[in-house]
Amino acid sequence: MEYAQFLREVREDGCFVSSEETEAAVVSVLMALAQVLPGPQLRALSSRVPPEAMVYLRRTSSEPDPLFDSHLFLGWVVSSLDATGMRDKTTGGLDLTAAYSGDEAIRRMGCVFSALKRQLEPAQQRELAAALPEVVDGWFLNA
């Protein structure tokens, strides 16, 4: 599949405002996956995504960090969201929308996951889910 087509699928799954936003979500989810998937699952996934996306599935260390959990996974995706608003003239600083960030990130992650799942056989999906941290596997399977 072409990268552009993959991005379109993700975008159609959820209400992304722009293609930049869509790509940011895709990139962050792939990079987070790269942090948690063991070598075989990571390689399997790499073979199913467009070549442009493969670059995001690289990991520097050989083994995933066993403590990498759903909070960290979410952190990568939340990083791709803009959670600040205008200046907060009452208490100072920037007003923030971070209260929505978690849910919004999970929603966007779901769009990326479902586009990815379409590239995978059910058995492959189950295998991948089994390699994901607790909670993240649920996000993946329910997407």
In the list 17, 20, 51, 60, the residue contacting other proteins (rule: CB under 8 A) is 60
The 8-class DSSP code of residue 81 comes to S
CB neighbour list of residue 11: distance below 8 Å, 6 or more residues apart: 19, 22, 111
Cβ-based neighbour number of residue 79 at 10 Å = 14
In the list 69, 107, 120, 127, the residue contacting other proteins (rule: CB under 8 A) is 69
Residue 71 within binding range of other proteins, rule CB under 8 A: yes
In the list 92, 122, 123, 134, the residue contacting other proteins (rule: CB under 8 A) is 92
Of 69 and 127, which has the nearer Cβ to other proteins? 69
| Closest residue by Cα to residue 79 from 18, 28, 133, 22 | 28
Q: Which two tokens stand for residue 82?
A: 């803009």
Of the candidate spans 11-19, 27-35, 38-46, 117-125, the one that interacts with other proteins by CB under 8 A turns out to be 27-35
End-to-end CA distance of the chain, in Å?
Answer: 20
Q: Which residues bind other proteins (CB under 8 A)?
A: 28, 31, 35, 60-61, 65-69, 71-72, 74-79, 81-84, 87-88, 91-96, 98, 101-103, 105
